[in-house]
Amino acid sequence: MTIFKRFAYYLGGLTIGIFILMFFLGGKNTSCDYGPNARVLKNIRIKHPEVSQNAQQAMANYGLDSTTISTFLNRGDVIFNESNTSIDDSCKLYVIKGAQLEKRYKMNVKNCDSTAVILAFELIVED
C-alpha cells in the first residue's frame, strides 16, 4: 500500500470519527473540567452561591457588583496554599483570586455539600 493510500484511509477514518462524535456529543452540555482548579470552580458555580453580608459590604466598598462573582467563578484561580481543604466537616474554605477593573481581589468561599457561601472580598495590594 502506498503512502498516498494510507493517508487517504487515515483522513477518511478521521472524518467519519469526527462526524460520529459530533452526532453523539452535539446536543449535550459537555465540558472538560479535569484540573483541580476547574473542578472546584465548577462545583461552586453549580450550587449558585449565596453572598454574605460581609461580602456584600466589601463589594459595595470596592465598587463591585454580582458580575464580579460570576467572573471569578469562571476565570478565577483557586489558591490552594491559602485554602483550608482539610476541615473535618463537610465544608471547605477556598480562596479564589481574580481581577476586576484592573485591580486584583481575593474572594473567600465556604463550599459545603449542598451550598456555597461567599464570605469575604479583599483587595490585593501589590508591592
Paired with 109 in beta bridges are 94, 118
Same domain, 85 and 41: yes
The string of pLDDT tens digits covering residues 99-123 is 888 889 999 999 988 899 999 999 9
Percent of the chain residues past pLDDT 90, beyond the cut:
58
Domain containing residue 18: 1-30
The domain spanning residue 115 has which CATH number? 3.30.2310
Same domain? For 119 and 90 the reply is yes
Q: Are residues 52 and 19 in the same domain?
A: no
Q: How is residue 78 written as a grid cell?
A: 483557586
| Whether residue 26 is found in the same domain as residue 41 | no
* Shared domain check, 62 and 8: no
Instruction: Supply the DSSP string of 78-124, one letter for each residue.
Output: E-TTTSB---SSS-EEEEEEEEETTEEEEEEEEE-SS-EEEEEEEEP
Same domain, 71 and 87: yes
- Let me know whether 79 and 119 are in one domain: yes
Q: Directed axis angle between helix 66-75 and helix 36-46, to 10°?
A: 150
Asked if residue 101 and residue 51 are part of one domain, the reply reads: yes
Number of domains the chain is built from: 2
Whether the predicted pLDDT of 31 surpasses 80: no
pTM of the model as a whole: 0.73
Do 88 and 108 reside in the same domain of the chain? yes
